[in-house]
A and B are shown apart, each in its own frame.
Chain A
Amino acid sequence: MAVLDVVPWGFAFIDFYFFGKKVHRYFFLAAGYNSVHSGFSKIGVKYSEAASTLGKGRLYALVRVELPMVKTSLISGFLLTFIDILKELPLTLLLRPYNFNTLASRAYEYANDERIMEASVPALMIILISVIVLLFFVGIHQKKISSVKDEVKS
């Protein structure tokens, strides 16, 4: 292979690793960020301040006090981002490495070739995985709501 043939691949590689990854990161940041941010906003600074007055540093307070309290928000953020990435098509088509397929891109390619039967398999898998993740998500939130109700009752 001539050196000149390698150059475009090199650029594509650099483009994907230094630009493509960033685009993905920022694109999917919103769903996860909002969930985690709302978790931290809800607890405020009082628990961190309480831990500080008990002689514990900022990092200790974060790990031992704040993270257990925002655990549900962290898991929710992860699940929402997971579903977002799973179903994402346009960015994946633009930025995926050569010969790399996701369920969404595979479904798109089959559908594009009018192979509807074959396209249905990855499409149904996306739906199935999303439903499982969403059920898990709803379960977490119902548990959270019932614990808040218990607190209000008492």
Chain B
Amino acid sequence: MKLSIEQLNFHYKITSDRIFENFDLEVQQGQILAILGKSGSGKSTLLRIIAGLEENAKGIIRIGEKIVQSQDIFVPVEKRKVGFVFQDYALFPFMTVYQNIAFGMRIKDKKKVASLIGLVQLEGLEKRYPHELSGGQQQRTALARALAGEPDLLLMDEPFSNLDTGLVMDLRIDLKRIMQSQRMTTLLVTHDPEDASVLADRTLRL
């Protein structure tokens, strides 16, 4: 779905530094936008605001035709239908790969979980726990988990930052294939311009 942000203003409650001032953004349906910028420029904060994890933001955010945030409206994070891949993946350590992926599903559909496991090429690892997986496998589990809830929007916060350079090359290609197959509007935060050039249709510098 299309994402549009109008007149976004944000500052942290503790510090008065303004992170966003009258910030506008539009991302078309199915488009992959890479967000680049220095540390502290607000890349991850922007994703958190869109997801509804930061409540201090002011402005209008629309996902599709639905307003999820405005002066009078604040749709809580669990109702925004947004998939989020965290920088450190935040996989539930006491759940297996299968249980992690199925966690966000309303009805635990075995076929759907199996198809997601196939999509991210984790066949045979369903019963493993996150600490028994490599960094790349954890990243793919996190991606499958985010996709399982059929989100309207996918947000990825530095998905390659914890991985070896050699592995990143292969994963970029994998991720590109998955994102193309899903045709999902995606915002990808990265500090590496190469991630942006390989994966994104458009780049935004903060």
Cβ contacts B63-93/A at 8 Å (1 or 0 each) = 0000000000000111101111010101111
Q: Is the CB of A46 within 8 A of B77?
A: no
Q: Is the CB of B103 within 8 A of A51?
A: yes
Question: Does A151 count as interface, using CB distance less than 8 angstroms?
Answer: yes
Most chain B CB neighbours (cut-off 10 Å) among A46, A54, A69: A54
User: A154's contact among B76, B77, B132, by CB below 8 Å, is which?
Assistant: B132
User: Which positions 99-154 of chain B face chain A at CB distance < 8 Å?
Assistant: 103-104, 106, 131-133, 145-146, 148-149
A50-B88 CB under 8 A given contacts A69-B93, A69-B94, A151-B131? no
Number of A-B contacts (CB under 8 A): 56
| Count of A interface residues, CB-CB < 8 Å | 17
Cβ contacts A55-75/B at 8 Å (1 or 0 each) = 111000000010011000000
Q: Is the CB of B90 within 8 A of A56?
A: no
Q: Is the CB of B86 within 8 A of A50?
A: yes
Question: Does A5 count as interface, using CB distance less than 8 angstroms?
Answer: no
Complex CA–CA separation, A107 to B145 (angstroms):
58
A55-B149 CB under 8 A given contacts A46-B90, A50-B92, A69-B94? yes
A69 surroundings in chain B (CB, below 8 A): 92-94
B131 surroundings in chain A (CB, below 8 A): 150-151, 154
Question: Does B198 count as interface, using CB distance less than 8 angstroms?
Answer: no
Q: Is the CB of B103 within 8 A of A49?
A: no
Q: Is the CB of B81 within 8 A of A47?
A: no
Q: Is the CB of A54 within 8 A of B149?
A: yes
Q: Is the CB of B145 within 8 A of A54?
A: yes
A47 surroundings in chain B (CB, below 8 A): 90, 92
Question: Would you list the 8 A-B pairs with minimal beta carbon distance, nearest first?
Answer: A54-B104, A53-B84, A50-B90, A151-B131, A52-B77, A46-B90, A52-B78, A154-B131
Chosen A-B contacts, 23 in total, with CB atoms closer than 8 Å, are: A46-B86, A46-B90, A47-B92, A49-B84, A49-B86, A50-B90, A50-B92, A51-B103, A52-B77, A52-B78, A53-B83, A54-B78, A54-B146, A55-B79, A55-B104, A55-B149, A56-B78, A68-B94, A69-B92, A69-B94, A150-B131, A151-B93, A151-B131
